Amino acid sequence: MSTRRPGSRLQTPTPAEPKANGSDGQQQRNSVYLGPNDRLVGQLFIEGDLRVSGKVEGQLEATGDIEIAGAGTVSGTVTAYNRLVVGGGASLIGGDVRVARLQIDDGATFSGHVSMGKAAIEASRPVMAEPAPPPAPEPEPTPVEVTPVVIDTEPAAKKGRRR
């Protein structure tokens, strides 16, 4: 009767790992956990690790590890710069998977295209893209022509001031 708080039960299983960052600072990697009752539709980029035992439809990307655990279900693109683990009761369906390391436990449901190795991941990194190719937008010839015009007017003005 008195326990009518709807959220009280659900919060219990969630390990409050992110709070460990407060003491250790930036040494500890960020970790995000989507519990069994959590659901995500869309895109998620995490600088750190990601653990999913809920339901995800969309794109997941993490700079660390991604683990689909418990009865977690992910349908969509998954990119882990380090390791992807799909647990025994979990499922990953239908998307492009780009990872450095991959572990799939027996009993997992898995389908999709897998690309492994550093080359596969670097190709998918938009953040680290180096702006080497754009040398075109440099309008150098125009200021060269303007400069002599300015020089012609300046001495005239200076002479006027001196007199």
Partner 1 sequence: MDVQEAVAEGTASVDNGEVKHDARKQFQMGPGDILEGKLIYDGSIRADGRVEGEVRVTGNIDVANGANIKALLEGANVTLKGQVEGAVTARDKLTLGRNARLSGDITVRRLQIDDGATLNGHVRMGDFEHQASGQ
147: enclosing H helix or E strand:
helix 141-162
Task: Give yes or no for residue 36 binding partner 1 (CB under 8 A).
Answer: no
Count of chain residues binding partner 1 (CB under 8 A): 20
Q: How far is the CB of 97 from partner 1 (least distance, A)?
A: 8
Using CA of residue 149, residue 154, residue 159, residue 161, what is the dihedral sign? positive
- Of 109, 122, 123, 158, the one binding partner 1 (CB under 8 A) is 109
Task: Give yes or no for residue 122 binding partner 1 (CB under 8 A).
Answer: no
**DSSP annotation of 17:** G
Task: Give yes or no for residue 71 binding partner 1 (CB under 8 A).
Answer: no
Contact region with partner 1 (CB under 8 A), list: 22-30, 51-59, 98-106, 136-144: 98-106
Which one-letter amino acid corresponds to residue 47?
Answer: E
Token pair listed for 23: 């003491």
**Considering beta carbons, is residue 20 or 114 the nearer one to partner 1?**
114
Which one-letter amino acid corresponds to residue 31?
Answer: S
CA separation (Å) from 154 to 39, 144, 148? 69, 16, 10
Token pair listed for 49: 């690790």
Task: Give yes or no for residue 64 binding partner 1 (CB under 8 A).
Answer: no
- Of 14, 43, 111, 124, the one binding partner 1 (CB under 8 A) is 111
* Positions in the binding site for partner 1 (CB under 8 A): 83, 85, 101-117, 120
